[in-house]
Structure 1
Amino acid sequence: MHSMNEYSSAIQLRSDRWSALREAAAALTRDPKARETKILNKKIEELFNSLAIIEPYWAFPGMSAFDHLRRQYEHGNYDDLAFAVNRVTRALTTGAYRRRHIPLDRDTVDHEEDDEAMLPPEARALAKPYFEVLIVDNVNEQQERWLKSNVNRMRRSEDSFIYEPVVVNSLEDALIAVLFNHNIQAIVVRPGLTLKSKIDQDILTRYLARAGGRDEIDALQPEFYGPELCRMVAKVRPELDAYLVTERSVEDIAGLDLGICRRVFYNQEDFMELHLNILRGVQARNKSPFFTALVEYSKQPTGVFHAMPISRGKSITRSHWIQDMGAFYGPNIFLAETSATSGGLDSLLEPHGPIKEAQELAARAFGSKQTFFATNGTSTCNKIVVQALIKPGDIVLVDRDCHKSHHYGMVLAGAQVCYLDSYPLNEYSMYGAVPLHEIKRQLLVLKAAGKLDRVRMLLLTNCTFDGLVYNVERVMEECLAIKPDLIFLWDEAWFAFARFSPTYRQRTGMEAANRLREKLRSEPHARMYEAQQSLLKDADEDTILKTRLIPPPNARVRVYTTQSTHKTLTSLRQGSMIHVYDQDFKGEVEQSFHEAYMTHTSTSPNYQIIASLDVGRRQVELEGFEFVQRQVEAAMSMRRAISDHPLLTKYFKVLTAGDMIPEEHRESGVTSYYDTEQGWTDMWDCYEQDEFVLDPTRVTLAVGGTGWDGDTFKTDILMDRYGIQINKTSRNTVLFMTNIGTTRSSVAYLIEVLVEIAKSLDERLDDASRMEKMSFDKRVANLMEHYPPLPDFSRFHDAFKAPDTPEGDIRTAYYLSYDDTNCDYLDLDGSLKDAMEAGETVVSASFIIPYPPGFPILVPGQVISHEILDFMRALDVSEIHGYRPDLGLRVFTKEALDGVSAKQLSNAST
C-alpha cells in the first residue's frame, strides 16, 4: 500500500486507490486460490481504510454509497462489489457523475454513451456545469440527511448550474476539504461547527500549514470559528465564495475579517435565499463579458465597409483558391473578426465596456489593483511597464540574464542600468538567480555614493526559465528597508499559474504585495521596525548585509508583474497581462502608464486573443486549483519515474533543488522534493523558508551521460525521432515543462521514449569497439566534467559609466553603434584575442546572446573580459546571436569611445 508521502496531490492518491480497488475487487470474482484470496482481502481492507479518510470530502460517490460498498465486501458479495466499484471508478475517470446520477446496482442501466468525454464539444458546451458546496456543521447522520435534502430541494430546472452538497463537522475538516476537493466552489458555514477533525494527524499537519498552521488553529476561540474559517479558506483558495450562518448580532460580526464571505445570514433556515446566492456567486466568476460580447457580435447581420476583407469571412467564402483556410478554421473565427469598436466590442486602448469589465475581473482573480491585457506578448508588457515608470537617468537594478525585452526596454527608456549577477551553475551551463545579498550590496553601494534618490526600480525574473523562484516578499521587505519607495517589476512570464496553488501563491508578486501592505499597517510590525533601528543605529555595511532587514511602516508598496497567460494558462498565442499593485499608481503613474500603453499597443488588436484572455481567467477562477494540482502531479510522476528507473539513471539525471540551489540559499535544508526511499517531501516548508525554491513543474534533465549535448538531444533525438517538442536546452541539459494541459499519457510516452533511448545506448555500447567506447567516454567527460565557467558581467566602459558606481548608459552605447564608422569587427580567435592579450580595452557594440544557454553575455557598452572571450571560444560561435562568423565580433573603435568620453568631459565642465 502506497503511503500519503508517495503522492504530491490528493487527487492522484484518490484516483489510484479507486483504480487499485477496482482491480482487486475484479480479481476476487475470478475464484482465486486461498493464498491469493488472503492477499487480495488484505489489500482491499487497506484500500477501504485508506479511502475512508478521503471520501467524506467528496459528494460522489458519497459516504452512504461508500459504506454500502464496504458492506458488500464484508458480506462476500464480490460480484456486486466489483460491478459497483467499476462504475464508480469509470464515473470518476470520465466525469460522468457531473452530468447525471450514476446507479451502482447491477440491475440498473447506465447510459455510458452520455459520458462527458464521449460527447462532441458542442454538446459539452450546452451541458450545465457541475460543482459541489461544502456545508460545515456539527451534525449527526440524520441531521446531515435533513441538511442535504433541504439544499437539494431548492434546485430548479432553470438553474444555470448543478451542485451537490458535502457536509463536514469541524473547522479542520473544512480546511482539508477545500484542499482535497477541487469541485468545491462555495462554503456554507453554520453555527454548530467544532474545531477538531478525527482524521489522520499526519495528513492534518501536512495540509493545514497552508491555512496558517496547527498553532494558529488551536488558538481560536469557539465564538470565532465561523469568521476565522472564512478567513483561513481565503488563504488557500481565495477564489471561493463563503456564506456565514450565525446566531451572533450584527455588532459582533462587524469589523471581523470575514475573508471570502459574500453574505452573512442571521439565524435563519432560508434555503432558497442561500441557493440563489450560491448560484449568483459562481455566476460572478463564470462571467466572461468580452467573450460573450464577441459571440453575440458574430451572430449579428452586418454590412462590412471598413479595412478588413477577412471580416465576416467574406474574402474567403467568395474565393476559389483559399477555401481550405475556411475549412480548416471554421466560420466563427471570421464572423468574430472586425476592426470596428462598435457592436459592443469595446476598445483595448480606451476600454469602457466589456474589455474594461474583463480586465476588472482579471484583477480580482489575480489579486491586483489593476490588470491590463496585451495582445502582443509579455515582451511588450515589459516595455510598457519600463517606459511608464523609468525616465532617462533613472537607475534600474536588472538581473543580467533576464529576457532580452528588458534590456531593450532599458535602451528605449534611457535608464542607467546596474546589472546584477545571478549565481552560476557552471556544471550545467546555466545561471541560477540573483542572491538577495547581491541586491542589497548594490543598493548600499549606490546609497554610499549619494545616488539612492535616483534608484527607481528592481527588475527580476520570477520564476526563471529553469524554474528558480524567489522569496518575493522577503526581497521586497529588505530592499524597502534600504530604499522605501523602490518599485519592483517581477517578470512572471512563466508563472501565471502560480496564483492558483496555495503553495506557489505566496511567492507571486501580487500575493506578496497584498501581504506586505497588510504587514506594514500592523502595530507589531511598527514595534519590530523601531527595535531593529535601535540595533542597527551604528551598524557597518557587513552587519546590514547579514541582517534580515525590516522595512519602515511608511514604505510604499509598488509592485508590477507581467505574465504570459498564453505560456502557462489558457490563451491564444501572445495573450499576456500586466498586473499592478502600486499605492502611487493613481497619483503618479496613471498618465505615463496610459501613454506607454498607447505607444506599444496596436490600434488593431486581435479580438480573439482578448476573448481567450477573458475565458482563460474564467477557467482558472473555477478550476485553476484542480488543473494546477494535476500539472504538479504530472511533473512529480515524471521525476519519480526517471529517478526510480535503474536503466534511465545510467544516462540521465533529474536535477534537484540541491543541484540547482546552493546550500546557503536553502534554509530548510531540503535537497530534493522526491526521495526514492521516503517519497515526496512536503514543499510547503521550502516555499515558506528558503531564499530560492525550485518549481517542480519544470523538469531539468541532465543528458550529458548520453554523449549528446542538449541541442543535439533536443533536435536530432527527441524532435526528429519521436516528435517530442521542447524549447530550452543548455550545454548538457534539456528542460521538460509541464502545463495545465499535460496528461499522464504524455508523461508515460516520454518515459517510454527515454527508456527506448537508454536501451539503444546500452546495445550500441555493448557492440562497440574499444576505440568507439573511448570516444563515447571522452564525449561524456567533455560534457559532464570539462565545462567552461560562466562569466559574470564585467563592467561598462568608462565612456558609458558614471564614476564610483557600476550603472551604465546602455542607450548611448546602443545608438552609437548605428553609425558604422564607430564600429569595427574583430575575429574571436585572431584579432580580438590579440588585442586583449596586448592589453587593449575592447568594448562590445551589440547584444551578444549565445543560444543555448540564451542569456546576453555582452550588452552595448560592455568591456569584453578574458572570461567572456574564453566562454565564447568554448561555444559553437555559429549559435551566438549578434555575432557574425564571417566578420567577427562587432566592437567600438577607440576613436568612437574617445569621442564619447570627450563629450562627457565637455558636458561636465559646462
Structure 2
Amino acid sequence: MNTSNAPGVDAATPMSRHRSVWEVRTESWIELVDELSQLANPTSEQSGREARVAHVHELTEILTPIEVCWAYPGRRAFAELCGFIARGELAHAAIVARRHHRMLASLTYRHGSPTSASDAELPTQMETEKEFQTQLRCPYFEVLWVDDLPAEEEEALRRRVRSRRRPDDEFIFDIVVVPTFEDALVASMVNFNLQAVVIGYGFPYRSLYVPELVARRFFAGLEVSGENLPESERGQLLGQQIARLRPELDLYLVTDAKVEDVAARAGATFRRVFFGEEDQLELYYSILKGVAERYQAPFFNALREYAKQPTGVFHALPLARGKSIMNSNWIGDLGQFYGMNLFMAETSATAGGLDSLLEPTSSLKLAQEYAARAFGARRTFLATNGTSTANKIVVQAMVRPDDIVLVDRNCHKSHHYGMVLAGAQITYLEAYPLHEYSMYGAVPIRHIKETLLEMRRAGTLGRVRMVLLTNCTFDGIVYDVERLMLECLAIKPDLVFLWDEAWFAFARFHPVYRQRTGMAAAARLSEMFQSEAYAQRYAEFASGFDEAAWADEERVLNTRLLPDPKKARVRVYATQSTHKTLTALRQGSMIHVWDVDFKDKAEEAFHEAYMTHTSTSPNYQILATLDVGRRQMELEGYELVQRQLELAMNLREQVKAHPLLKRYFRFLTVVDLVPEEFRESHVESLYNVETGWVNLFKAWRTDEFALDPSRATLSIGLSGMDGDTMKNKYLADKYDIQINKTSRNTVLFMTNIGSTRSTIAYLIEVLVNIARDIDQSVADMSTLERRIHEKRVRSLTVELPPLPNFSCFHTAFRGRSVDGRSETRDGDIRSAFFLGYDEGNCEYLVMDETDKAIKGGRECVSAQFVIPYPPGFPILVPGQVISPEILTFMQALDVREIHGFRPELGFRIYTEAALRRSAQANAVWTAQINAPTEPD
C-alpha cells in the first residue's frame, strides 16, 4: 500500500525527489514562505520576480491536494491564501503563509487555532508554551468526515462539532471533510492525526483534488473496485479498505438506508452505524469514547495512583516509597538522578489495583487485553525478563520431550537453550548464506518442505511439533509468513509456529509491514479457512493433486501447496522485544498468541511455563512502560513507523550520493541481501523517482523474502576496517554512536520510532569524518603500508571464508527413523548439553590438534556452543560434529570474541569413550520411543 507518495507530485515535478508526503509538505511550506517574503519585500531584486511568482503557483498546486487531507490549515483556509496570491495581495499572503507555517512547525494549531486567514497574528513564546501544556492535558486529534457536502453545510458541520467542546473533555478534535472515495483513502494514508473516520451515505468515487497518475501510485497493490458500485454501497467498501490499511482507526457509518440491515451486515467493520442526522450528539461522544478506550493505560494509571497513596511498608523491599533513599546520608544522589516517582511506585505488593503478573485479575489483565487488541492477537502476555525468557516460555509450553522442532540454526541463543530445557529433538534448518558479507539470510520454504518430506519418509513426521524462525532477521530479511505457514500446514496440518519477532514489534502499525507479521497472517489464515472461497480454491487444488502427486516429491517441492481447511489448525505464537523497537524499558517484552487450540491443548502447559520462567517479583516500571508503549502505538504508531522508514531511506540516499562516502561505504540493497531466486518481483531497488514506493509494495506483496528498509546494513570492506573495529574504535569510542550488530565487513544502522532528522544528519557527518580520516591515512601510507592495506581490503571484500553449513549431530545424539534402520537429521541436544557437565567426558584440543585429528579420521564433537562475534550465530552446538569447513572458517576469523572457545585450550570436545556410551544409550532410547504402544 503506497503510504508515502505526495499528492500532486509525480515524475514531472521538481518535487519528485522527495520520498514522503510529509517531507513534501514541510519543504513546500518553507519554500512558499521564503518566496512570498521575497516578493513582498519592495527592496528585493525585480529581475527574478516572474520566476518567483511561477514557483509560488507551482508550490500552491503541490500543497492544494495535501492540505485537503488536514484540518489545519485545511482546504478552506488554504484556498483563502491562494486567493490572496491570485489577486496579487502578496504582502498579506506572506504574513498569512508565515503564520500557517509557524503554527504547523510548532504544532500550536493543535489547540484553539483559528482556521481563518483573517487572524494573522503569530503566537508568542508564552502562548506556545501554554499550548504545549494544554496538549499534555488534553490531546488533540482529527476525524475524517467523508461526505460530498456543499461549502455552507461543511462549515455548519465544522461549527457544530466545535460548539460541542466542553472544558472537561479528555480530548479535543477537529474534522477533515473530503468529498470522494479516493480522497478518503488518500487522507487516511497521509494524515497521521486521524483517530476516527465518519463515512456518509453516498459520495462520488474519483478524487476531485489528487491527479489520476498520483492516485494510481497511491493505490498500487490495493484491490479497489468501488467505482461501479452504487453510491449507497460505497461507504461499506471504503470502511473495509480503511480498516485494512489502518485497523487502529475507529470507523462510523452514517446512512440513510435501512440502518438495521446495514448494521447487521457491516457491524464487524464499523464501531457504530447511525441513521442520517439523528443522534449527532451520540456520534460526537462515541468518537471521544473510542479514542479514550485506546488512550487508557490501566496498569500505568494504577501505578501512578498507588505512588500518591500514603502507605506503611512492612514487606521485604526497603527501596519502596523511597524510604531507604530519603533517610540516607550517602545515596541521595540516586533519588536526584532518577526522581522520586520511580521509588514511590516501587512495591512488592499487588494491592491498590496493581495486580499480580502471575495471576492477573484487574489492571494487568486489562493491560494484556489491550495489548492483544493493539497487536492483533487473540491473547497477549507481558514479560519482564526479555524475549530470551519469552522464547523459553513458548518452547517449554508447546514442546514435549522428544518432540522434533525445526529451528533456524542462526536464531537467537535463547531458542537453543530453550530446546535444551524442553528436551526437544532439533532439526536445524539452513538459511541461505551471504558469503561476501559473512552473514546468513533466511530459511527458504523449499528447504523446510524438503525437511518435512524427509521426516515423512522416515516415519517421524508425527513427532514434528514446531517450526521456529526469526522474523525479521537482524539485517531485515522478512518471511512471507502466510505462504510459509500455508505450505507447511499442507504437509502437517497441526504444526505450531513460533515467530521470533524480537526486532519487529513496530511492524503491526504500518500497512506494508503488517502483512508479514505472525499475528496478521494467523488472522488471515483463520478467516480464509472458514470461507467458502477458500474451500472452493482448495477443492480445485486437491482435484489436481492426488496421492500420486504427493508421492512425487519434486512436484511437491515445485508446487504452492494448500492445506485442507477441515484439517489445518492455526497455531501461531510471536515473541517481541517491545523494548527494542517501541517505547518500553529494557527487558520489556510480549508474547502474542493466535492459537485456535489454546484452551484445549496449551493453556495449562503455557501457564506452568509462564510460572516457571517469570519472576515472582516483576518490575512494575517495566510493566507500566509496556502498557504506555502500547497506548502510544495505537494512537500514533502509523506516523512513527512511517517516519522511521523515511529516515532510513534518506540515510541510504545521502551515502549513495556523497562522492567521498561512496568511495569506502555502500548500503546493501535488496539485490545484495535477497538472491534473485527469492524475488519474484525482480525488484532491484525499493524506491524509484518515477514510480515512488511501488517497488517496495510489489516486493513485499509477492517475494518469498522482503527487505525491511529501516535496517541499513553498511558495507565497509573497502575502508580496510572490519565491523568490530568500526563499531568500537570509531563509532562508539570516538563519536558516541551506538549500534547493535556487525559482521566481518558490515555494520548495521537501524532507525527506530525515536529517530530524528538530526540524528541522521549527525551520522552522515560522522561517516564523512571517518571517510576523511581513511583518505588521509591512505594518502600518508608508504609503499609497504599500502600493500598491507590493500591485502586487508581484499580479505574483507574478496577473500572472505565461506560460511559453513550445520554439519550434523554425532550418531550418539542423532535421531532414528521409526523402524530404527536409518538415522535422521534431528538431534538430542539436551543429552549432548548435559553430557558435557561431567569433566571426565570431555577433553580440549587446540586448533591444530583438532585439524590433525579430523584428517586422521576422528569425529571431533563439540561439547558446548561456539559463537564467534561477529557474526554472532552458533558455529557449533553441543553434539555437533566439527567439520573441515567449520574449522577452516574458524581459522580465518579475526574477531576478538569467540564465545565457547578459548584459544589457549581450544575446542571442548567429548572423549571417544563418552561418545560410545552415549551411542549405546541412544540406541536404547530409540528402541523405546519407536516401540509399538499397547492398545487401551
Relative to the length of structure 1, the TM-score reads 0.97
1:818 aligns to 2:837 (yes or no): yes
Cα displacement (A) at 1:81: 2.4
2:500 to 488, 491, 496: 491
Equivalence for 2:878:
860
2:243 to 213, 234, 239: 234
Q: Secondary structure at the match of 2:207?
A: coil
Cα displacement (A) at 1:473: 0.5
Contact 1:134–1:168, Cα closer than 8 Å, also in 2: yes
1:834 to 845, 852, 858: 852
| Cα distance in structure 2, aligned partners of 1:902 and 1:592 | 32
1:728 aligns to 2:741 (yes or no): yes
Contact 1:231–1:257, Cα closer than 8 Å, also in 2: no
Letter of the structure 1 residue corresponding to residue 852 of structure 2: D
Task: Identify which range, 455-464 or 66-75, moves more after superposition.
Answer: 66-75
| Cα distance in structure 2, aligned partners of 1:34 and 1:141 | 39
Cα displacement (A) at 1:105: 5.3
Equivalence for 1:71:
83
Contact 2:870–2:895, Cα closer than 8 Å, also in 1: no
1:10 aligns to 2:21 (yes or no): yes
Listed one character per residue, the Cα deviations across residues 749-792 of structure 1 (whole Å, up to 9, x for unaligned) are 11111112222323333343333333322221111111000001
Q: Secondary structure at the match of 1:542?
A: helix
Equivalence for 1:22:
33
| Cα distance in structure 1, aligned partners of 2:229 and 2:633 | 32
Equivalence for 1:204:
215
Any stretches of 5+ residues in structure 1 without a counterpart?
Answer: none
| Cα distance in structure 1, aligned partners of 2:203 and 2:774 | 61
1:55 to 43, 62, 67: 67
Cα displacement (A) at 1:47: 1.0
Task: Identify which range, 83-92 or 542-551, moves more after superposition.
Answer: 83-92
1:895 to 902, 909, 913: 913
Listed one character per residue, the Cα deviations across residues 861-906 of structure 1 (whole Å, up to 9, x for unaligned) are 0011111000011113641100012211101110000001122334
Structure 1 pair 907–376 and aligned structure 2 pair: CA distance change class (3 A): closer
Letter of the structure 1 residue corresponding to residue 856 of structure 2: A
1:433 aligns to 2:434 (yes or no): no
| Cα distance in structure 1, aligned partners of 2:250 and 2:100 | 29
Contact 2:102–2:122, Cα closer than 8 Å, also in 1: no
Q: Secondary structure at the match of 2:98?
A: helix
Equivalence for 2:388:
379
Cα displacement (A) at 1:209: 4.0
Cα displacement (A) at 1:147: 1.8
Listed one character per residue, the Cα deviations across residues 678-725 of structure 1 (whole Å, up to 9, x for unaligned) are 765541111110100111111000011111111101111111221111
2:201 to 171, 187, 191: 191
Task: Identify which range, 638-647 or 603-612, moves more after superposition.
Answer: 638-647
Listed one character per residue, the Cα deviations across residues 415-438 of structure 1 (whole Å, up to 9, x for unaligned) are 010100000000000000001110
Structure 1 pair 907–704 and aligned structure 2 pair: CA distance change class (3 A): closer
1:222 aligns to 2:231 (yes or no): yes
Contact 1:374–1:575, Cα closer than 8 Å, also in 2: yes
1:651 to 639, 647, 664: 664
Equivalence for 1:401:
410
Cα displacement (A) at 1:534: 2.4
Letter of the structure 1 residue corresponding to residue 294 of structure 2: R
Contact 1:134–1:184, Cα closer than 8 Å, also in 2: yes
2:865 to 833, 847, 851: 847
Contact 1:316–1:323, Cα closer than 8 Å, also in 2: yes
Q: Secondary structure at the match of 1:469?
A: strand
Equivalence for 1:534:
543
Listed one character per residue, the Cα deviations across residues 229-264 of structure 1 (whole Å, up to 9, x for unaligned) are 221111011111111111222453154244541111
Equivalence for 1:91:
103
What pairs with 1:58-137 in structure 2 (closer than 5 Å)? 58-101=70-113, 104=117, 108-115=121-128, 123=133, 126-137=136-147
Equivalence for 1:806:
825
| Cα distance in structure 2, aligned partners of 1:834 and 1:209 | 60
| Cα distance in structure 1, aligned partners of 2:382 and 2:671 | 37
Contact 1:471–1:692, Cα closer than 8 Å, also in 2: yes
| Cα distance in structure 2, aligned partners of 1:672 and 1:106 | 47
Equivalence for 1:621:
634
State the number of aligned residues.
Answer: 904
| Cα distance in structure 2, aligned partners of 1:219 and 1:426 | 52
Cα displacement (A) at 1:219: 5.1
Equivalence for 1:546:
558
Task: Identify which range, 367-376 or 31-40, moves more after superposition.
Answer: 31-40
Cα displacement (A) at 1:196: 2.0
Structure 1 pair 502–3 and aligned structure 2 pair: CA distance change class (3 A): farther
Contact 2:96–2:120, Cα closer than 8 Å, also in 1: no
Cα displacement (A) at 1:15: 1.6
Cα displacement (A) at 1:118: 9.3
Task: Identify which range, 875-884 or 320-329, moves more after superposition.
Answer: 875-884
Letter of the structure 2 residue corresponding to residue 527 of structure 1: Q
| Cα distance in structure 1, aligned partners of 2:382 and 2:375 | 13
| Cα distance in structure 2, aligned partners of 1:740 and 1:397 | 33
What pairs with 1:500-899 in structure 2 (closer than 5 Å)? 500-537=509-546, 538-539=548-549, 540-554=552-566, 555-674=568-687, 680-803=693-816, 804-828=823-847, 830-876=848-894, 878-899=896-917
Structure 1 pair 310–224 and aligned structure 2 pair: CA distance change class (3 A): same
Letter of the structure 1 residue corresponding to residue 747 of structure 2: V
Structure 1 pair 299–578 and aligned structure 2 pair: CA distance change class (3 A): same
What pairs with 1:329-478 in structure 2 (closer than 5 Å)? 329-478=338-487
Cα displacement (A) at 1:6: 3.4
Letter of the structure 1 residue corresponding to residue 331 of structure 2: I
Letter of the structure 2 residue corresponding to residue 132 of structure 1: E
Q: Secondary structure at the match of 2:316?
A: coil
Q: Secondary structure at the match of 1:151?
A: helix
1:148 aligns to 2:158 (yes or no): yes
| Cα distance in structure 1, aligned partners of 2:424 and 2:71 | 57
Task: Identify which range, 787-796 or 13-22, moves more after superposition.
Answer: 13-22
| Cα distance in structure 2, aligned partners of 1:865 and 1:733 | 26
| Cα distance in structure 1, aligned partners of 2:263 and 2:730 | 64
Task: Identify which range, 454-463 or 81-90, moves more after superposition.
Answer: 81-90
| Cα distance in structure 2, aligned partners of 1:742 and 1:117 | 26
| Cα distance in structure 1, aligned partners of 2:775 and 2:20 | 35
Cα displacement (A) at 1:38: 2.5
1:159 aligns to 2:169 (yes or no): yes
Letter of the structure 2 residue corresponding to residue 774 of structure 1: R
| Cα distance in structure 1, aligned partners of 2:31 and 2:927 | 82
Contact 1:800–1:813, Cα closer than 8 Å, also in 2: yes
Equivalence for 1:264:
273
Contact 1:94–1:116, Cα closer than 8 Å, also in 2: no
Equivalence for 2:931:
none
Contact 1:421–1:793, Cα closer than 8 Å, also in 2: yes
| Cα distance in structure 2, aligned partners of 1:816 and 1:852 | 28
Task: Identify which range, 457-466 or 66-75, moves more after superposition.
Answer: 66-75
Task: Identify which range, 563-572 or 77-86, moves more after superposition.
Answer: 77-86
Identity between Structure 1 and Structure 2 (%): 54
Contact 1:186–1:242, Cα closer than 8 Å, also in 2: yes
Any stretches of 5+ residues in structure 2 without a counterpart?
Answer: 1-11, 817-822, 929-936
Letter of the structure 1 residue corresponding to residue 123 of structure 2: D
Task: Identify which range, 666-675 or 601-610, moves more after superposition.
Answer: 666-675
Structure 1 pair 220–863 and aligned structure 2 pair: CA distance change class (3 A): farther
Letter of the structure 1 residue corresponding to residue 211 of structure 2: D
Contact 2:192–2:636, Cα closer than 8 Å, also in 1: yes
Structure 1 pair 675–644 and aligned structure 2 pair: CA distance change class (3 A): farther
Equivalence for 2:5:
none
Task: Identify which range, 519-528 or 159-168, moves more after superposition.
Answer: 519-528
Letter of the structure 2 residue corresponding to residue 49 of structure 1: E
| Cα distance in structure 2, aligned partners of 1:117 and 1:572 | 30
Letter of the structure 2 residue corresponding to residue 892 of structure 1: Y
Q: Secondary structure at the match of 1:721?
A: coil
Contact 1:12–1:633, Cα closer than 8 Å, also in 2: no
Contact 2:502–2:576, Cα closer than 8 Å, also in 1: yes
Cα displacement (A) at 1:100: 3.1
